[in-house]
Homo-oligomer: A and B are copies of this chain.
Amino acid sequence: MVKKAVLILSGGMDSVTLLYHIIAEGYTVFPISFDYGQKHRKELECAKQICKDLQLVHKVVPIPALNDLAPSSQTRKDIEVPEGKYDDDNMKQTVVPNRNMVMLSLAASYAISINAGVIFYGAHAGDHTIYPDCRETFIRALDVALSLCDWTPVRLKAPFVRMSKGQIVKRGIELGVPFEKTWTCYKGEALSCGVCGSCSERLEAFKIAGIADPLKYRKEVVS
Contacts and interface: CB of A to CB of B under 8 A. Distances in A.
Given A113-B71, A141-B141, A101 B66 contact: no
A106 B70 CA distance: 9
A35 B183 CA distance: 32
A164 to B, nearest CB: 22
A10 to B, nearest CB: 16
B141 A69 contact: no
Contacts of A105: 98, 101-102, 104-105
A146 B145 CA distance: 10
A217 B97 CA distance: 42
A163 interface: no
5 smallest beta-carbon distances between A and B, as pairs: A97-B112, A141-B145, A70-B109, A138-B148, A101-B105
Interface stretch (A17-25, A57-65, A186-194): A57-65
Interface residues of A, number: 42
Given A109-B70, A110-B69, A113-B70, A101 B62 contact: no
Contacts of A112: 70, 97-98
Nearest to A142: B145
A144 interface: yes
Contact of A138 (B97, B135, B145): B145
A146 B104 CA distance: 13
A61 B36 CA distance: 13
Contacts of A145: 101, 138, 141-142, 144-145
